[in-house]
A = this chain, B = another copy of it.
Amino acid sequence: MSDMRSTADAPRSPGRPRSLRADEAIIEATLDLLAEGSNVEALSIEAIASRAGVGKATIYRRWAGKDALLLDALRRLKGVLPQPAGHSIRDDLILLVGAIGKNVDPRAEKIMPCLVPAVNRSTDQYQLYQNIIAPRRQLMREVLRRGVDEGVLRADVDIEVTMALLTGPMLIQRVLQWSPDLNDVDLPERVVDAVLEGIRAR
């Protein structure tokens, strides 16, 4: 706290503007509180403001409410979206499958699993979770549709089930280490090849 005050008294640094530093502190405070075991439903703007060393008004100036702030904070855990190169359907799928369940922030391991009960209990939390994963799912859907358009994949492929077949194995392996007989490293390729075996145009 005394550190923050002396920073505020110091001449403006040439780095990021003040508002970005506050945003960062608010996001960090949110993730810290969740990683320490704060329940996502019980977590309050008051608690986040207090932890970040800012006023509640500073939070509300930037985010419409708790869910909007949580969405930004939780998306941060996942990092930037992967970028399929657009040449080979197989390569693009391996890239997307390889990104499943990967988080750039170690706090994710503590936060994500314990979101599950909240996601199942509340429509707001379910929507929040869907908003986090929807852009990644959309990328995969576009690659599969491109495969159908290009005639690489069968025209009658069940796109939604195929997406679950590509996603599920990687997610349970990365999050749960589901099988001691599989490993993260070659699993994306093995899953994509096994799935392509069933959906490739013949």
Tell me, in angstroms, the Cα distance from A119 to B191 when the chains sit together: 24
Tell me, in angstroms, the Cα distance from A173 to B160 when the chains sit together: 12
Name A's interface SS: helix
A74-107 CB contacts (< 8 Å) to partner B: none
Q: Does A68 contact B (CB under 8 A)?
A: no
Chain B proximity mask over A10-50: 1 for CB below 8 Å, otherwise 0? 00000000000000000000000000000000000000000
Question: Are A179 and B163 closer than 8 Å at their CB atoms?
Answer: yes
Instruction: Indicate which residue in B114, B119, B163, B177 contacts A120 across the interface (CB closer than 8 Å).
Output: B177
Question: Are B169 and A161 closer than 8 Å at their CB atoms?
Answer: yes
One of A1-9, A54-62, A144-152, A192-200 at the interface: A192-200
Q: Using CB atoms, name the residue of chain B closest to A198.
A: B198
Question: Are A130 and B164 closer than 8 Å at their CB atoms?
Answer: no
Max chain B C-beta neighbours (<10 A), residue from A117, A162, A176: A176
Chain B proximity mask over A167-190: 1 for CB below 8 Å, otherwise 0? 111111101111111100001001
Instruction: Indicate which residue in B117, B130, B158, B173 contacts A113 across the interface (CB closer than 8 Å).
Output: B117
Question: Are A109 and B113 closer than 8 Å at their CB atoms?
Answer: no
Question: Are A169 and B176 closer than 8 Å at their CB atoms?
Answer: no
Instruction: Tell me the minimal C-beta distance from A12 to chain B in angstroms.
Output: 41
Can you sample 18 A-B contacts with CB below 8 Å? A113-B113, A113-B116, A113-B117, A120-B177, A126-B177, A133-B178, A158-B194, A161-B190, A161-B191, A161-B194, A164-B178, A165-B168, A165-B194, A165-B195, A167-B172, A168-B168, A168-B171, A197-B199
Q: Give residues in A with beta carbon < 8 Å to B.
A: 109-110, 113-117, 119-120, 126, 129-130, 133, 137, 158, 160-165, 167-173, 175-182, 187, 190-191, 194-199
Known: A160-B179, A168-B169. 14 other contacts (CB 8 A): A113-B113, A113-B114, A114-B114, A114-B117, A158-B190, A163-B179, A164-B168, A164-B169, A164-B187, A165-B165, A168-B172, A171-B172, A172-B172, A194-B199
